Amino acid sequence: MTKSDRKKRQPLIYSCSGCSNVAQLANDMALQANADGLAEMSCIAGIGGKVKALVKKAQSNRPIIAIDGCVLQCAKHCLNGVNIEPTEHIILTDYDFKKKNDSTLHLEDEMKTYNLIAEKIKNITP
């Protein structure tokens, strides 16, 4: 299998990236999964804005991971707006993170969260 073929089978990952600490953590986790080659990050704003090329990519039958910071579930709602249900949906406040209107994070929390997300990605990767 070529590198291009592997990339086409990789899960797509979308994240919230709002102004709270958990929103920024969601975005950081998606960026790291992309950098590590676990998933291909794509643009949730483009999905919400119904940008044709980005919606087409999201509808390409690849597994979809949505990471939301809180119960507002903005990333999931953007995907649902174009009739996409994520394969895996992670809400960081479900894991004892408290939403705050700052972006202060601790490295230990980031590592714990990333390990959780990486494990979920590995479980759905073909």
How many domains does the chain fold into? 1
Q: What is the pLDDT of residues 14-53, one digit of tens each?
A: 999 998 999 999 999 999 999 999 999 999 999 999 999 9
Helix (H) or strand (E) holding 74: helix 74-80
pLDDT in the model for residue 1: 61
Identify whether 4 is part of a domain. Answer: no
Identify whether 119 is part of a domain. Answer: yes
Identify whether 117 is part of a domain. Answer: yes
Q: Confidence class of residue 5 from pLDDT cuts 50, 70 and 90?
A: low
| Rounded distance between C-alpha atoms, residue 65 and residue 69, angstroms | 13
Q: What is the pLDDT of residues 66-78, one digit of tens each?
A: 999 999 999 999 9
Q: Confidence class of residue 2 from pLDDT cuts 50, 70 and 90?
A: low
Identify whether 63 is part of a domain. Answer: yes
| Rounded distance between C-alpha atoms, residue 74 and residue 92, angstroms | 12
pLDDT in the model for residue 3: 64
Identify whether 90 is part of a domain. Answer: yes
Residues 6+ apart with CB under 8 A from 24: 17, 18, 69, 103, 105
Look-up: residue for tokens 């999964």?
Answer: 33
The parent domain of residue 57 ranges over 13-124
| Rounded distance between C-alpha atoms, residue 45 and residue 108, angstroms | 29
Of 18, 13, 32, the C-alpha closest to 93 is: 18
Identify whether 2 is part of a domain. Answer: no
Average pLDDT score, the chain: 91
Q: Confidence class of residue 96 from pLDDT cuts 50, 70 and 90?
A: confident
Identify whether 5 is part of a domain. Answer: no
Identify whether 39 is part of a domain. Answer: yes
Of 75, 69, 57, 72, the C-alpha closest to 14 is: 75
